[in-house]
Structure 1
């Protein structure tokens, strides 16, 4: 069977390039490469033999899969889906096998011409990233005549191509918060690339290649929408299962805590509401107060040469520039991950996926072939895609335009050299701009940046997410009035209340400075006393440690007074790379953490892969419910080479007396015993007489119920309250719909914590908490009252938690905890805590 296929003309008419189609999705090549026909006949014929794998319910479009695997989309007219099927008569059904020249759809050419923007019929190969297209016809063609377009499957022996595997499909409801915007689309792209299969997502009669982030976003799929996944190829079944799981795995969009008001991003913005006090209003993207000097960032668009220096020269330049930017963004991802800046890492990870988008790249290459320069072509491809997203009337997708602009700026800079650098910021700079991209924000000196004010944008865009992660007070959607602020003037910003005072009086400035100084003085006071031990009022010592991901955060933990490291997550060593880290690399990273702790101990958790922690190169099977599948220590036991490498690296650390190894997702005693035996065996092989302490995470109810058995063989127990709450309440902790109900102060969770402590005490073991509950100041007295003696929180929170501990009477905490255990709901628990806090009990 030949891997080369030549299409016949499906209609009589005039052949035109895709760039002539008055629709940026098709014109930009986002649905695939191909051509268009201005029709003169009214019966659509099959351009080749194959199977009908998709037929639009409105009858205006269908897709054929040919014997060589090419998927040929035939789309009659532009925006004809809006006709609701009027004027179209399908003559075949999905699943039908057709021969070349067979009538597929009859359509009323005159009626449609009166109601549709255009009759241009598009012929595109939706999986053109796996095909080579050549010998495209031009000018007039006759329906049924051969020679319209030649398609060859890449990497397939031309003489003998294997038969395509049977196609399969299924539907799923999208669980990602905000739908398929940039980051969920990048996640789906990553899933699609793991399989030897063609994956398409269908929604509202439109299909998109799952390997194309831009095509997926163009579908306009919202949270809760149901989509159909079509899979074909050698690994179709496995790919389908993985894609369905990925669609149904909830991820957070990074919204502001409150409902975000988003200003339009395509038109001038006016203030959200007129204020009578002379202040300028806006939307809080990140809370905080600041007084500083206005620095205006002008967004001057670079002037580009429209015409290029020849197709081959410009294509080569574009390829080099994309590779250069891809390398730079990958470095941004790695550096952010190394710092533990997970929000920043995820955002640039989405940019990496956009750079790898075949349809966006094909659109730019198409414009280069039309004679444009590489820079002009890439800008045009980006702008077309931006227009599509803006036209979808979806605020979250509209905010992703900033990500596309960021890529445009970086690729053009790679082609033409960097634009003039920004002048150095003064101390306490309040940066004001029309809009800002994530890469521009991360390149501003944090130590000089007091606040950020944007005329446009919204509280859900990636810059806003970064500002919250970096604790930069920020207003967005503040309107064009902020662009008229005088450079160098002093302003007062209260982002939490949503305003900026452009001309504060001396009295106002004094009050603002006093408030800011008061907050800072309290933080300074807490920091000064943070290094001292945390004892309750009745003299009981509580260890307050830090959750970290690397040596830099270990040093930060020491500066904030942490008593040690309560949790070092080693996933950062394994993520965002194509292969596992070498044993030497793992040892060096963990030794650097120990060295930074100045004699303190470190609890280092073995790799917690699986579930919501994807490590692409590990052969983890697709799972319907990853949270209940192969994850945590199960992954390590299933892949002993990976676990052994990590254990050997940890056993090589010095001194071992300051190391504590923690095992994630333990469910019963046998798992602990297997790892304990393996550590002993490896230590003997390495000639070690000393063993580090070995602890287990209590994250599932079975571990809490068996705490007494586990404590007999473990040196300590550490409770991961995030997962323990999730598994106890049977609520996905990634689900936005359940976020308000996922409360670790649920009495069932409190009873499991109490049971864990009681079981540990029978063997003289201590119990710590490294989940988010330890950072909740309202929960600290509860945990102490239940018998927890170690709390592990983010480095910056250590002073606050220690101060809280020093104000508590442990005897009172124990009495209160017993009362809380008798409550029937988390609301009752919190109400009782509030009464105790106000002294009304």
Structure 2
């Protein structure tokens, strides 16, 4: 039977362009099918032209009809928008989180790139017959870019300065690839762009940083405009292109950043690492959303553990409430950090470790080690697999940063919605790795070498059976502990046989929820945890592992939510592994219910 819900509502405004556009935007975010009925006419609420053709005027009563999944919720959201007079307060922009936090300020816009800011009459665009002069000019531009980079790094703290070290190598590689293009008759800027497209350097925001630096020198344009920095009071940067250099060059008056981009890669970018380290909320939004923001309009960013959204030009009442929420959030964050350090002085029964996806992630001193190294993120964005020495040095560096504590390295977890160009195939996790024995062999040798620097352990992704664990263990030369990551309903059902040949068990709740509940792996963690089916499976995993004397860690998103962390521990979970920025709040939550541990 179709789940149909309906509500009649009076319009405070006619459904002309602006209200209709807002209604359509909100309706388009809903999974339910929605219609608007006015007199004898019907319109699909997700199609702007149909809504405009209704001709509904102020004071008209329209009927909203929703069918399908979450129909009642869809009607609640649409009626709330209408009841609020189509105020932007009721229609936040949905964004993708790269650095969590809350921020309020006026928008400072940087919506043109260096190349767009310079007219094509600039010398950098001109093709010269004097190739030697062009070569000298390009050499000088790269030299100046390197010099400016040195000056910038000199003023940064060591953890931030280290993030920029690859830029020098990238600049050298780009220059070597740019010079031959001049011989082919290209202008300096086009030669640079062509070099970036063909160079072997991995595509990342550091490459974009290098391009913007050299372009700025060639075209005589400033990387950061005086107009951008001129605004008074608290500011929010709104930019099409976000580079690490742009971020570190922002004055202290900037409280948050909205950047153009789609979902996913922004979180592991160098700019995102810097933003998290500086406590700057950073969100990515679609191009049409970013371009619609007006200079100096008030922006409210709320990027919490459960949602990420922002508002443009909210009402005075909403802004007042947002400031109160912001102040409460800041105060709570300070209390959590203080309490977490106090808790750690006595200890907790349950270790809380860090999930790491980049070498430069800030691992707080209160972390009980690294519970999950996402190696596929450490080496993403490249065209070929990393070598043994490169991998060994990265794993050793992470082990050194948590000296004496576990550093659990998950083998490359690729396939499905996490493709790697050098691990092709339709399989996922360990199944895909076993189909590429050379890649697996190199990674296991690198882990063996890294064990000289700390307690480096191996985690097998998407483990299916005891045989998977045995095959991975056979590839190790050391006695490194090998754990199984349980992420499917089938693996949970085989937990005792898997646990017997494993040294520990980890639960990946993102994929497990998808397998057990049949929902998208990015589903809201709260909905997943409170679903009894998932709770039963997690308890089954814990009981089966404990029956064989193995401990269980949860390293999915669920573990990073304080209330959920308490519930997981209540199910018998032995350890948690969470995002670095959530360690303090999780430790505080556990400290409220646990006693000190005796080590």
Query: Would you say same fold, with TM above 0.5?
Result: yes
Match of 1:675 in 2: 472
762-771 vs 569-578, which moves further: 569-578
CA distance 1:729–1:450, shift in 2 (3 Å):
same
Residues 747-782 of structure 1: CA distance to partner in whole angstroms, max 9, x if unpaired?
A: 222222111111111122111101111123342232
Q: Is the counterpart of residue 785 in structure 1 residue 566 in structure 2?
A: no
Match of 1:524 in 2: 334
703-712 vs 422-431, which moves further: 422-431
SS across alignment from 1:546:
strand
How do 1:426-575 and structure 2 match up within 5 A?
Answer: 430-431=234-235, 436-439=239-242, 443-445=246-248, 448=252, 450-451=254-255, 470=275, 471-472=280-281, 480=294, 482=296, 494-496=300-302, 498=311, 516=326, 518-531=328-341, 541-553=349-361, 556-559=362-365, 561-575=366-380
Residues 136-155 of structure 1: CA distance to partner in whole angstroms, max 9, x if unpaired?
A: xxxxxxxxxxxxxxxxxxxx
SS across alignment from 2:417:
coil
Match of 2:506 in 1: 718
Match of 1:160 in 2: none
CA distance 1:663–1:373, shift in 2 (3 Å):
closer
Note the C-alpha offset of 1:666.
Answer: 1.1
Q: Is the counterpart of residue 799 in structure 1 residue 580 in structure 2?
A: no
Match of 2:557 in 1: 772
CA distance 1:432–1:273, shift in 2 (3 Å):
farther
Q: What CA distance in whole angstroms lies between the structure 1 residues aligned with 2:541 and 2:503?
A: 14
Q: What CA distance in whole angstroms lies between the structure 1 residues aligned with 2:372 and 2:264?
A: 28
Residues 59-78 of structure 1: CA distance to partner in whole angstroms, max 9, x if unpaired?
A: xxxxxxxxxxxxxxxxxxxx
CA distance 1:531–1:643, shift in 2 (3 Å):
farther
Which one scores higher on RCO, CA 8 angstroms, separation ≥ 6?
Answer: 2
SS across alignment from 1:482:
coil
Higher Rg: 1
Match of 2:491 in 1: 703
Match of 1:246 in 2: none
CA distance 1:311–1:565, shift in 2 (3 Å):
same
Q: What CA distance in whole angstroms lies between the structure 1 residues aligned with 2:445 and 2:190?
A: 53
How do 1:296-335 and structure 2 match up within 5 A?
Answer: 301-305=117-121
Q: What CA distance in whole angstroms lies between the structure 2 residues aligned with 1:730 and 1:643?
A: 30
Contact 1:291/1:428 (CA < 8 Å) preserved in 2? Answer: no
Residues 794-819 of structure 1: CA distance to partner in whole angstroms, max 9, x if unpaired?
A: 00001111111122379xxxxxxxxx
Residues 720-756 of structure 1: CA distance to partner in whole angstroms, max 9, x if unpaired?
A: 111112222344436xxx7799835432222221111
Note the C-alpha offset of 1:568.
Answer: 0.6
Contact 2:352/2:368 (CA < 8 Å) preserved in 1? Answer: yes
Q: TM-score by structure 2 length?
A: 0.58
SS across alignment from 2:381:
coil
Q: What CA distance in whole angstroms lies between the structure 2 residues aligned with 1:744 and 1:776?
A: 10
Residues 372-408 of structure 1: CA distance to partner in whole angstroms, max 9, x if unpaired?
A: 98879999xxxxxxxxxxxxxxxxxxxxxxxxx9999
Contact 1:775/1:793 (CA < 8 Å) preserved in 2? Answer: yes
How do 1:125-524 and structure 2 match up within 5 A?
Answer: 290=103, 301-305=117-121, 413=216, 415-419=218-222, 421-422=224-225, 430-431=234-235, 436-439=239-242, 443-445=246-248, 448=252, 450-451=254-255, 470=275, 471-472=280-281, 480=294, 482=296, 494-496=300-302, 498=311, 516=326, 518-524=328-334
CA distance 1:440–1:529, shift in 2 (3 Å):
same
Q: What CA distance in whole angstroms lies between the structure 2 residues aligned with 1:439 and 1:296?
A: 12
Contact 1:431/1:452 (CA < 8 Å) preserved in 2? Answer: yes
Contact 2:553/2:575 (CA < 8 Å) preserved in 1? Answer: yes
CA distance 1:414–1:632, shift in 2 (3 Å):
farther
CA distance 1:715–1:657, shift in 2 (3 Å):
farther
Give the CA RMSD over aligned residues.
5.5
Note the C-alpha offset of 1:662.
Answer: 0.9
Q: Which has the higher helix share?
A: 2
SS across alignment from 2:242:
helix
SS across alignment from 1:602:
strand
SS across alignment from 2:582:
helix
Residues 452-504 of structure 1: CA distance to partner in whole angstroms, max 9, x if unpaired?
A: 588xx989799999999955378967765727xxxxxxxx8644573669999
SS across alignment from 1:524:
helix
Note the C-alpha offset of 1:667.
Answer: 0.6
Match of 1:255 in 2: none
SS across alignment from 1:552:
coil
Contact 1:717/1:765 (CA < 8 Å) preserved in 2? Answer: yes
**Which of 392, 412, 426 is 1:587 aligned to?**
392
CA distance 1:431–1:585, shift in 2 (3 Å):
same
Contact 1:297/1:431 (CA < 8 Å) preserved in 2? Answer: no
Contact 1:573/1:586 (CA < 8 Å) preserved in 2? Answer: no
CA distance 1:708–1:432, shift in 2 (3 Å):
closer
CA distance 1:501–1:699, shift in 2 (3 Å):
closer
Q: TM-score by structure 1 length?
A: 0.43
Match of 2:542 in 1: 757
Q: What CA distance in whole angstroms lies between the structure 2 residues aligned with 1:566 and 1:411?
A: 40
Contact 2:367/2:583 (CA < 8 Å) preserved in 1? Answer: yes
Q: What CA distance in whole angstroms lies between the structure 2 residues aligned with 1:525 and 1:675?
A: 44
Match of 2:412 in 1: 607
SS across alignment from 1:743:
helix
Residues 631-653 of structure 1: CA distance to partner in whole angstroms, max 9, x if unpaired?
A: 21123322222222211211122
Q: What CA distance in whole angstroms lies between the structure 1 residues aligned with 2:266 and 2:459?
A: 35
Residues 43-92 of structure 1: CA distance to partner in whole angstroms, max 9, x if unpaired?
A: xxxxxxxxxxxxxxxxxxxxxxxxxxxxxxxxxxxxxxxxxxxxxxxxxx
CA distance 1:524–1:481, shift in 2 (3 Å):
closer
Match of 1:825 in 2: none
Q: What CA distance in whole angstroms lies between the structure 1 residues aligned with 2:192 and 2:439?
A: 42
CA distance 1:301–1:773, shift in 2 (3 Å):
same
Match of 2:63 in 1: none
Q: What CA distance in whole angstroms lies between the structure 2 residues aligned with 1:406 and 1:577?
A: 17
Residues 409-444 of structure 1: CA distance to partner in whole angstroms, max 9, x if unpaired?
A: 7896475244364459699964467x6222368613
Match of 1:653 in 2: 450
Note the C-alpha offset of 1:582.
Answer: 1.6
SS across alignment from 1:697:
strand
Q: What CA distance in whole angstroms lies between the structure 2 residues aligned with 1:540 and 1:420?
A: 48
Contact 1:717/1:768 (CA < 8 Å) preserved in 2? Answer: yes
Contact 2:239/2:260 (CA < 8 Å) preserved in 1? Answer: no
CA distance 1:378–1:714, shift in 2 (3 Å):
closer
Contact 2:256/2:282 (CA < 8 Å) preserved in 1? Answer: yes
Q: What CA distance in whole angstroms lies between the structure 1 residues aligned with 2:363 and 2:187?
A: 51
CA distance 1:303–1:600, shift in 2 (3 Å):
same
